[in-house]
Structure formats: structure tokens, C-alpha cells
Structure 1
Amino acid sequence: MPRLRIAAALAAVLAMPAFAQEPLQVREIGSLHVGGRVATIEGLPEREITFSPGSPPLRMNPNGDFQVEQMYAQYVKLANPRARYPLLLWHGGGLTGVTWETTPDGRPGWQMAFLRAGHDVWVSDAVERGRSGWARFPEVLAGEPVFRTMGEGWGLFRLGEQAGWNRDPARRVAYPDSRFPLAHWDQFMKQGVPRWVTTDRQIQAAYDAYVQAACPCVVMVHSQGGNFGFTAALTAPDKVKALIAIEPSGAPPQAAEAARLKDVPHLVVWGDHVAENAFWARIRQNIDRWQGQIRAAGGTADTLDLPAEGIRGNSHMLMMDTNSDEIAGRIQAWMAAKGLMR
């Protein structure tokens, strides 16, 4: 399998350019909601509700028309961007756009890193997450939300073996080479939000509407966002100019028409301890298969395998690990090599 090799010196220069500590020259900060539909709810009983202490109760009728399945995005546009296209950051399952903002231990996240590298940066919350808002369930969102426990992610996000989780931070056992800021795991878990496992169709529709509203662009996805990004690129290969997948957890089916992506360069980034984790090892096989289909169709599907490059200990949350700036620099170097900078 092809493997991306970028000189460490180049990566370091791009990760921490000379202007990195200068104030950003920002032209505009704003937000929008995209996608969604109007749903009508009928047949529910009225309730009497007191909205604020001391206020009189009101009779609330929960029936009527509701705006649902929309998605929220915020953008920061630079006065003089050096990237050819805006960079859209898509988060993973049970999370929101906070993924890309400040790290749990207080360092600037990849939103700031790529702003400083010269990109207009857009950060979104998928349907039913964060500022995108909820809808009633099961009347609109089928089923019920899934909530991640504090301990589930310890093994799933590969900070250590699942058996190493303990509620007492002093008794938790991580991989000896872990790059995640371990003392701040509890802080990270405050970012967790409910998710549904029945809403992929609605989420994809909103992301597709988002691409139409915000692109041409470069899309960077994480984890659950991977399949949405791959599919969005298949749907609008004229709008998605490159796709960067940070440990994507899903890919299009075998029958997908990868030839549509021959002009959309792809980069997949992997952290450490994937092979010894049965869940992630199986996922990587599926992603490798999809990359192979792109290459067989004449496209570009590069892999940045950090352990293979001698960079050990990265978790599933690469953008929060203690070497996140170095990884951002390598991704930035790939974008520059693909002609995505001015």
C-alpha cells in the first residue's frame, strides 16, 4: 500500500510558521444552518408547564410543525487566506465541532492551527448534535439516543486496553507511549453528546446540503464523519477538492463508483495501536479496500501511517494528542504538495 512520507523538517516548518504567534487578520466570523425539513407532529397530549420560577403555568400543545434535521456550521474567514479553498472540519460520533477547537488540556486545536496555516476554517455540528438541535424521538428521530460512558472511549479511542479503565484517575492504565493528555480525559468526556444510530440518512442529506452551500472546499473528517465525507465527495466531486480522513470508521460499499473520485485526492491518517485492536483492525481493512478502489480507478488515495513513520502512541483523537501540531503540519504539507495552497 502506498505510504505518504513527508520530510520532518518540512512538516515542522509548516506546523509552526514564522507568523504563528502573530494576531490573525480575520475578515468575517459567522454561522448558518443548512438542510432540514418541516415535520408535523399530531396526537400528543397537552401539558401544563411552568417555564421559569414564579411565572404562571402555560398550557403547552406539543403538536404542530417543527423544523428538524438541520445542521449548524460556523465559519472564520481570513482577510488574506493562502489556501485556495475553505477547509471544512467534520467531527465523529458522540461528539460535536468542539473536537477541532481547544484541546482538553488547553492548547489551541486544529481550528486555530489551520487558520494560522492560511485556511478559512468551517466547523460544524452534525444533525442532532450540539447547536444543530434535537427533534422529538421517536416521533421524528427513530429509536432513542445512545450515550457514551466515561469508560467506553478509553479502549475504543485507544488510550489503553479497555481493562485499563478505572473511575479513579490514579488507577487507570494507559499505553506506555500514549500521546493523549491522560490527566485531562475527564475534561474531554465533558464534550460527549448523545447520538442516534438511526439517522445516517438525515445526517448525510445535511452534509450534502452543506457542501452545496460552502464549497468548493477541502473536507477533513474524523471517525464517524468519514463515511459521510467519502459519500459527500462521491455526490459532489466537483465541489470537494480534496478529502482528508482522520481515522475514518466507515467507507462506501464495494459497489460505489470510485472512478468519480479520480480527481479528488484523498489522505487517510492513522494513529497507533490499530492492529492490536480488533474493532479498529477490521475498520482499517475496510478503509484500505476503499482506498484501493480509488487508486484502481486512477485516483489518489494516500495514507499517513504515523507509527510507520516512527511516530508512536497516537490515539484515535489525533487532533488532541500532545503532538497534534506535528500531525497538523504533515497534513498541511500534503495539502501544499497537492496544489491546494496559493
Structure 2
Amino acid sequence: MPATARAESQAVDCTGINAVSPKCSTNETAYFRDFFYLGGRYLTTSSGNLTFDQLYVEKLTPALGVSQPKPLVFFHGGAVSGVTWLNTPDNRKGFASYFLERGFMVYLVDHTSVGRSSQMDTADYVLWNTTTAEGVEAAFTAPELAAAYPQAVNHTQWPGTGIKGDPYFDAFRKTVIPFTSNWTTGELSMRASACDLLDHIGPSYLISHSSGATYSVLLSNDCPQNVAGNINLEHSTQPFWNYGSTLNSGSAIRPWGLANTPLDYDPPITNASELVVEIVGNDTLALRNCHLQAEPARQLPKIASVPYLCITGEASVHATYDHCVIEYLKQAGANPDWIKLADLGIHGNGHFMHLEMNNLEIAAVVEGWILKTESSQP
């Protein structure tokens, strides 16, 4: 057999999950890894004390050393885990590698109830996973096919076809795992455990995706002295409301505005019912109306004290309602930054932008904001 033919016959398929083969090389950046569990509490049962609410944390130290003054802590979105920040479904470098190469200490967490922080399926932690393969296609990997909102047709950045059977879709779909549907319990445990983490590592930049943005908001409320900046890739903290796919549809949630558990408003309130809510704007599929405070709005001084950034993709459904969080924060006394990627010439991104083909361009946007914010500190 000719040498060329032998080489072709021995070629290794390293697409998607096939890259698990020892014959496939890695694109990841060299780092040292440590793991820890922080927070947690004992729950007394008839058979003894069980441990609940512990938070799994990976500490990634760049092999070439740390050159940046403050660490980064990454909070994943719903139905995935901290691995979302590592390599992408098509085996390219993820956000963790990007920032490790630039000298940042990186911390990855699995939210309490998820992944290696999973809890027992009790009345406190009711596990929930309604994200079907079809739902993943429609919402994240191929929204342009259903086009439930006008911006969806601009989606071009997901690797591969984004539908079942594609190796990159299948690799991503296998990362979708159950998480708790008890938002109150989940938030309370993360407030305690994640502030414990920040107490140990000091002021840090928090980088969150989707529903993970709830936790960075809560930490800005509870331990703002340790939050150097709050960076959100499409914050899923729409005030008071989850939007449906048709006009004037959805469901009430987050009665405290940006969360399901208490925030420190000024003037103070003891019950979420004291917040007066009004609907602002006409509801269209391209631009949803907002559920905001009626004026004069109560302030959120602790949250407002933390520098805030939201980044929104051109083709994501978040392009239709991310403005509502920005408006709510302004009402509450904050001065949030909002970067719409299309305004920077970065086009075609959906909700999981940190996994898409231009993910490192987006990481560079995040880095630029961090460096700008850091340079403005006294």
C-alpha cells in the first residue's frame, strides 16, 4: 500500500466527542488544577447528618503564572455546568483557555444542585430538565430554522448544522443536565456558598451566562466589596417576567425584580409585594415590553455600586428583551454598560455565544471591559 494511502487509512476522526480518543490532540491552554468545596450546611436526618448546599469550585492557575491582579469567577447558565467554559463542542479553545493565556486566575463553579455540586432530589432540590433536543435546536443551536423572533434569521455562528445527528450538536447536547426548579432554594444556597468563595479569594470579576447572572446580581447585593465587576453574557434576570414565544405571553417570576429572593432596596421593603410594577412599551416579537418599577423607583445601592456589563448577541432571543434589565438597573440607580455585539461588527451570535465559532472575539470584548474597568479604579 502506498504511504499516502496508509496515512489516510490511519487518520483519526476527532470531531465532536470523538476527540476523547488518546490519538487526538488538545487545543487547551496549559494550566494547573485544584478543586475545592465551599459553603454547605448540615441537615440532620434520622440516620445522621447529611451535607447540603456545598459548591464545587475548580481553581485553574495558568502554567506560565498569574499576571493579572484579580481573579475571574465563571457562573454557567441553566441546564449546563462549569464545563461550558472549557473547550467548545467542536474542540476549540473556550473562555477559560483564553483568559488563562492572558494571565488570569480562573475559577469555575458548578452551581449548587448542578453537576459536581448536585444535591439529593428532595423537597428542597427538585431536579428539573425540560430542555429537549428539539428545544436546544430551537432556542440555542439553530434558532434560524424556526425563526420565532425576527433576529433569529441572522444566526450563523454555531459550528455545524445545529441539529440532531451533527457531531457538534450531539457533543453539546450531552452537556445538558438537570438542575433545580426550586429557584428560591437554589438562590439562597448560592448566596451563602458563593460569598464564602469570594471571602476566600478576594475581589473578583464575575462572568456569568444566562440564568447564572442571577447569582452575580445576588453577590453584588450580599458581598459587593468582593465583586470587582459583574459581566453578563445575556443576563436571564428579566425583571418580574419570563417571556413566552408569542405576544403578551409569559409567566411571572423574580418577584424581587432581578431575583426570587430578597434584595436590599432603598427605601427598604420586607415583602416583594411592596414593589409597584408597571408594563412599559408595546409588545412586539422584535422588542418585548418591560415589567419595570413604577416611578419613583426604589433604589438598589449595593448592586449599583458594582460595575456592570451585559453583552447581547445579534441573533439571540435576548436581543428582544435584554434592554429590560438595563432599564431596571438604571431605575434602581445603577449605570450599566450594554454592548450589542453587532455594533462592534461581531455578527451572527446566538445565546451560547461563548461556544460559537467567534467565541474568542467575544472573550476579547470581555477582556477589554475588564482592563478598562480595572484601570479606572482608584
Deviates more, 1:206-215 or 1:281-290: 281-290
Aligned to 1:290: 328
Question: How many Å apart are 1:161 and its aligned residue?
Answer: 4.6
What is residue 300 of structure 2 aligned with on the other side? 258
- Tell me, yes or no, if structure 1 residue 159 matches structure 2 residue 194: no
The change in CA–CA distance for 1:333 and 1:96 in structure 2 (over 3 A counts) is: same
TM-fit CA distance, 1:282? 6.2
Tell whether the 8 Å contact from 2:127 to 2:178 is kept in structure 1 after alignment: no
Residue in structure 2 matched with residue 36 of structure 1 by the alignment: 40
| C-alpha separation in 1, matches of 2:369 and 2:144 | 32
Name the counterpart of 2:350. 315
- Alpha-carbon shift at residue 86 of structure 1 (Å): 0.5
Classify 1:233/1:308 alpha carbon distance in 2 versus 1 (closer, same or farther; 3 Å).
same
In the alignment, is the contact (CA less than 8 A) between 1:82 and 1:341 conserved in 2? no
Change in CA separation of 1:162 and 1:144 when aligned onto 2, cut-off 3 Å: farther
TM-score, normalised via structure 2 length: 0.68
Alignment of 1:74-93 (within 5 A): 74-78=58-62, 80-93=65-78
Number of aligned residue pairs: 283
1:203 equivalent to 2:190? Answer yes
Amino acid across the alignment from 1:76: L
User: Is the contact made by 2:98 and 2:360 (CA closer than 8 Å) also made in structure 1?
Assistant: yes
Q: Does 1:337 align with 2:315?
A: no
**Contact 2:198/2:226 (CA < 8 Å) preserved in 1?**
yes
Match of 1:148 in 2: 131
Aligned counterpart, 1:187: 171
Which residue of structure 1 lines up, in the alignment, with residue 313 of structure 2? 271
C-alpha separation in 2, matches of 1:240 and 1:72 = 19
Distance 1:119 1:242 in 2: 15
Find the residue that maps to 1:316 and give its secondary structure. Answer: coil
**What amino acid maps onto 1:223 in structure 2?**
S
Deviation (angstroms), 1:197:
1.4
| TM-score (norm: length of structure 1) | 0.74
Q: 1:101 is matched with which residue?
A: 86
Check conservation: 1:223, 1:246, Cα contact below 8 A: yes
2:76–2:110 contact (8 Å) kept in structure 1: yes
* Separation (CA, whole Å) in 2 of partners of 1:76 and 1:247: 24
Q: CA deviation at 1:122?
A: 0.5
The match for 2:215 among 219, 228, 238 is 228
SS at match of 1:238: helix
Opposite residue 358 of structure 2, the aligned amino acid is: N
Q: Which has the higher contact order (CA 8 A, sep 6+)?
A: 1
Q: Is the Cα contact below 8 Å between 1:211 and 1:232 reproduced in 2?
A: no
Q: Which amino acid aligns with 2:60?
A: V
Q: Quick one: distance in 2 between partners of 1:327 and 1:180?
A: 14
SS in 2 for 1:222: strand
Structure 1: unaligned runs, 5 residues or longer: 1-20, 43-62, 166-173
- Cα distance in structure 2, aligned partners of 1:203 and 1:162: 36
AA at the equivalent of 1:181: P
- Per the TM alignment, residue 268 of structure 1 is displaced from its structure 2 partner at its CA by 0.7
**Kept in 1: contact 2:309–2:339 (CA 8 A):** yes
Query: Does residue 247 of the first structure (1) align with residue 234 of the second (2)?
Result: yes
Please say if residues 150 and 186 of structure 1, whose CA atoms lie closer than 8 Å, have aligned partners that are also in contact. Answer: no
Match of 2:143, SS state, is: coil
**Structure 1 partner of 2:199:** 212
CA shift in 2, pair 1:239/1:105, >3 Å: same
Instruction: Give SS of 1:105's match.
Output: coil
- Greater displacement, 94-103 / 248-257: 248-257
Deviations, residues 80-130 of structure 1 (Å, cap 9, x unaligned): 322210000110101100110010000010000011111000111000111
- Residue identity matched to 1:228: Y
Residue in 2 aligned with 1:114?
99
Contact 1:243 1:266 in 2 (8 A): yes
Residues in 2 aligned to 1:231 and 1:136: alpha-carbon distance in whole angstroms: 24
Aligned to 1:124: 109
Partner-residue secondary structure (3-state), 1:157:
helix
Distance 2:96 2:237 in 1: 23
- Report how far residue 206 of structure 1 moved: 2.2
Deviation of the 1:234 alpha carbon: 1.7
